[in-house]
Structure 1
Amino acid sequence: MSEIDRRRFGEGIAAFATLLASGSLTAAEAAAPPPSHDMSAMPAHWMGKEKIAFLIYPGFTALDMVGPQYMLASLMGAKVEIVAKTKEPVRSDTGLVFTPSARFEDATEVDILCVPGGSNGTLAAMRDEATLTYLRTASRKASHITSVCTGSLLLGSAGLLDGYRATSHWVTKPLLPIFGATPADGRVVHDRDRITAEGVTAGLDFALALVARLRDRTYAEGVQLLAQYAPEPPFSAGEPETAPRAVTTMIESMFVGLKQDMSDAGKAAFAKTRSR
């Protein structure tokens, strides 16, 4: 969200707060020109100062980051950074290119840490000690340590899910015990300061729920309406339980090798983490 978009969003929120404070509009008031925005009508807790870091790395899944980033960038007063090892452009798994706003060393003190997933890119990150060290460092003062999809395997590799309930993409969810985590049901799983989401699109639900937690339900509903987030997928194949068995088998077969590689990398990374 650009600065002008954030300002307009703030103005809209302020106008909405004025409406809430004054009660329902009459027909005459609805027809009248909108009043000037009075920020004093906005609940004080709607303005925050969170520092939010989204980790990106070569081969990450863009929607794992972009969906939540849209929701969390709507938090008035929050500062959002896109963090990578360097400020060189980072290419996602589908070829989208992102320019980081901060390097690892620039974003070590954050309130919210968000980790997207991917496939081979995530596997490489699980084997990258600099990335795992950054996650450990950034998590020390964070009030919310979060992931989307296989991003939970990165958190696990850094030792950040040991003793927590968590989830991941349905293909890789069975790997979570490698990291001392307990696989849990739910599109979004909250356990104390850890929040993990299932595959890709679950990041939208996770971030919207976090907006509600950081502000309130009304604020989050405004963000949802702004995004017109009202999914009606054309098929019921979004979960293994509802997808045709042949489709589930096809997808599972695509990731047999990667799943084994992630298991091996995860065991090695977690063992190294525990020996530190």
Structure 2
Amino acid sequence: MRFVALLFPDVTQLDLTGPVQLFSRLPGATVDLAWHDTRPVPTDAGFSIVPTVAFADAPPADVLMVPGGQGAFELLADDVALDFVRAQAAGVRYVTSVCTGAFVLGAAGLLRGKRATTHWASHPLLELLGAVPERARVVRDGNVITGGGVTSGIDFALTVAAEVYDAATARAVQLVMEYDPRPPFDAGSPTSPEADPEQVERLLADNRRNRGPVVARAAERLRS
């Protein structure tokens, strides 16, 4: 079972490394991290990750995964990266994303008419790319599986593992990873009782202002 994950500058590293850690523990799984070349790629956390393969040399995937982060929005105008995503998606069993990686799938034309999710602060913008936004930690529509923001990637990866293997295998990996989240605060989503409403509105407004035009241009490229 071969997983190919897109790697790019300013990726949110947990979007990538959380699911990759889980996928790497699945029986017989191989995980490749693909980028334009194999030089170290800086993440949003201040350290770099080395791709295992360049786009030109990447093997066909069984599962394609696109993580998110601010860098994902730079890819919306990167024709080489989008062509790589399209080419991989044509032969995979599952097309997947975590967080704002969904916008890369959308810009590649892979979310038209598909239910999908992403980070809550960018969620309303998915519709611009033809997706049907759905509020959930993980959303599956056919062979497209999308995860919400950042930590949702672990839930997402367990969902993918259960689909590709079976629930027993997914549970076994969950136990080995001791994935038993019990956060000390109840502020993890905009509807959580301890979430700051002003922060919610500020982040939504920031994303509309800063990311909205980028997504709109990607939507125009799709239409043309």
- Please state which band the TM-score falls in when normalised by the shorter chain: over 0.9
Candidates 48, 66, 74, aligned match of 1:124: 74
Candidates 49, 57, 63, aligned match of 1:106: 57
Matched residue type, 2:13 = A
3-state DSSP of counterpart to 1:53? strand
The residue number in structure 1 matching 2:8 is 57
**Conserved 8 A contact 1:108-1:134:** no
For 2:14 and 2:47, locate their aligned partners in 1 and report how far apart those are by CA, in whole Å: 10
Give unmatched runs, 5+ long, in structure 1: 1-49
3-state DSSP of counterpart to 1:52? strand
3-state DSSP of counterpart to 2:81? helix
For 1:248 and 1:153, locate their aligned partners in 2 and report how far apart those are by CA, in whole Å: 25
Matched residue type, 2:62 = D
For 1:227 and 1:143, locate their aligned partners in 2 and report how far apart those are by CA, in whole Å: 25
The residue number in structure 2 matching 1:249 is 198
The residue number in structure 2 matching 1:174 is 124
* 1:78-157 to 2 correspondences below 5 Å: 78-107=29-58, 109-119=60-70, 121-157=71-107
CA change 1:135–1:68 in 2 (3 A) is same
The residue number in structure 1 matching 2:213 is 264
Q: What do residues 97-141 of structure 1 show as CA deviations (whole Å, max 9, x unaligned)?
A: 10000111122621111111112x222122222221211111110
* 1:24-39 to 2 correspondences below 5 Å: none
For 2:29 and 2:131, locate their aligned partners in 1 and report how far apart those are by CA, in whole Å: 30
Q: Which has the larger radius of gyration?
A: 1
3-state DSSP of counterpart to 1:195? strand
Matched residue type, 2:7 = I
For 2:176 and 2:78, locate their aligned partners in 1 and report how far apart those are by CA, in whole Å: 38
For 1:92 and 1:149, locate their aligned partners in 2 and report how far apart those are by CA, in whole Å: 15
* 1:206-245 to 2 correspondences below 5 Å: 206-244=156-194
**TM (normalized to structure 1)?**
0.77
The residue number in structure 2 matching 1:40 is none
User: Cα distance, 1:221 vs. partner?
Assistant: 1.1
**Conserved 8 A contact 1:159-1:274:** no
For 2:80 and 2:182, locate their aligned partners in 1 and report how far apart those are by CA, in whole Å: 40
Matched residue type, 1:87 = T
User: Cα distance, 1:75 vs. partner?
Assistant: 1.7
3-state DSSP of counterpart to 2:46? coil
Number of aligned pairs? 224
The residue number in structure 2 matching 1:187 is 137
Deviates more, 1:163-172 or 1:69-78: 69-78
**TM (normalized to structure 2)?**
0.94
The residue number in structure 2 matching 1:26 is none
For 2:132 and 2:203, locate their aligned partners in 1 and report how far apart those are by CA, in whole Å: 25
RMSD of equivalent CA atoms = 1.6
Greater relative contact order, per chain length (Cα 8 Å cut-off, separation 6+): 2
For 1:251 and 1:94, locate their aligned partners in 2 and report how far apart those are by CA, in whole Å: 22
Give unmatched runs, 5+ long, in structure 2: none
3-state DSSP of counterpart to 1:189? strand
